[in-house]
Structure 1
């Protein structure tokens, strides 16, 4: 019996699909899928470096109330965040380190530097630094030890300080800070992909979003990219409170570079 024409056509398409299915599966295996996490690719990440000192109240406010937005909004997924706790410290000709806010600041700079190196995961060491900087805002920095318990981290940074390893980390950060171009004039000093934001540092999210070249745009950047470019005159007039470099530090700044250049 001859089949109706529509059944002939159905069988024809069925057998074609049956034969083509293995070929389609093979192509799916051979062709690499497009990445849905392009924002996490190392080459796409935007490098954000914060140069600060532990007892500068304006650095503390920036870390506790502003920089934390990287984690709160998920922007950290496209950012390589670098914390450099040296700030406006300087090294005297005899090798003594002086800090703008006294010996406590020198000590806490080193503790934070040790924490950053010992706990390279940015979420871990940022949590510790933010805890300590919150105590700075509250005038309770002498209670810094409580931050280990509050963040769940071990007290290894204390051993780092007492063993003298922290001094080597300090010298590394001193050298990096001294070689900034343009030289930093105050802290907090924020650099996004080698661009110093200077007085416009609180607009760091805008600079991050514009510098990001990945394919997946984070939600936190969508509104930023749709706004108009900041007026340069507006940026200059909206100065933010900062801790300026001491004149005494300028007298020994060349020595910082010379001394730290000898370190490995």
Structure 2
């Protein structure tokens, strides 16, 4: 993903996020950001389960993750995957999925939210059509068990296998940089000295 797409977009619906991702030729069906040179030690993989109208999620992404990202994006310290399904429910009706979001119908709808204009035809068509519906279902299946949102999981890779480390929510939410630096297995970059590990 290009640096200009590294800006975190949180107040959009699942289908819209997926359609924007496809429109920018990202390699997967999730909004993902990767830091730095991929030839160095493997970065910590961070996954955030969130909801677009959840006040706590908005606060965490705007006040913790978003300010930290520009400081670490070139350090190969972590990747970020945002899964905007949270506590929503889904059921299949005919050939479509129907979604019920925790914070009401507006959380499930594709609307104009800040930097993205719903009037962009390609994104709007995708978000409101079958493709957007299927992408939203895909995110639902990727959203694992969680106690609340925002729910943060960190995972690290060791040698030839992936060692999953699920970090308690409160540690990654209270001090994200400290927790990422603690989990990272490569040489600690200078920014980790600020993390009080």
Normalising by the smaller structure, the TM-score range is 0.5 to 0.7
CA distance in 1, matches of 2:64, 2:83: 17
TM-score for the superposition, normalised by structure 2: 0.64
CA distance in 1, matches of 2:136, 2:108: 9
3-state SS of 1:187 partner: coil
Q: Pick closer, same or farther for the CA change 1:100–1:218 going to 2, 3 Å.
A: same
What is the CA-CA distance between 1:74 and the residue it aligns to? 2.1
CA distance in 2, matches of 1:157, 1:200: 36
Q: Kindly provide the CA deviation profile for residues 41-100 of structure 1, in whole angstroms up to 9, marking residues without a partner as x.
A: 265111011110100011011111111133232256321110101011011464421001
Any gaps of 5 or more consecutive residues in structure 2?
1-35, 156-163
2:141 is matched with which residue?
Answer: 175
3-state SS of 1:147 partner: coil
2:116 is matched with which residue?
Answer: 148
TM-score for the superposition, normalised by structure 1: 0.49
Q: Pick closer, same or farther for the CA change 1:97–1:76 going to 2, 3 Å.
A: farther
The 5 Å alignment of 1:248-263 reads none
Highest CA radius of gyration, 1 or 2? 1
3-state SS of 1:87 partner: coil
1:205 is matched with which residue?
Answer: 177
The 5 Å alignment of 1:1-264 reads 40-41=37-38, 44-75=42-73, 77=75, 78-92=77-91, 94=93, 95-108=97-110, 143-144=112-113, 146-148=114-116, 156-177=122-143, 180=144, 183-193=145-155, 194=164, 195-202=166-173, 203-215=175-187, 217-224=188-195, 227=196
Higher strand share: 2
Contact kept in structure 1, 2:172 and 2:179, CA below 8 Å? no
CA distance in 1, matches of 2:193, 2:109: 41
Runs of 4+ aligned structure 1 residues displaced above 3 Å come to 92-95
Q: Over the residues paired in the alignment, what is the CA RMSD in angstroms?
A: 2.4
Contact kept in structure 2, 1:75 and 1:220, CA below 8 Å? no
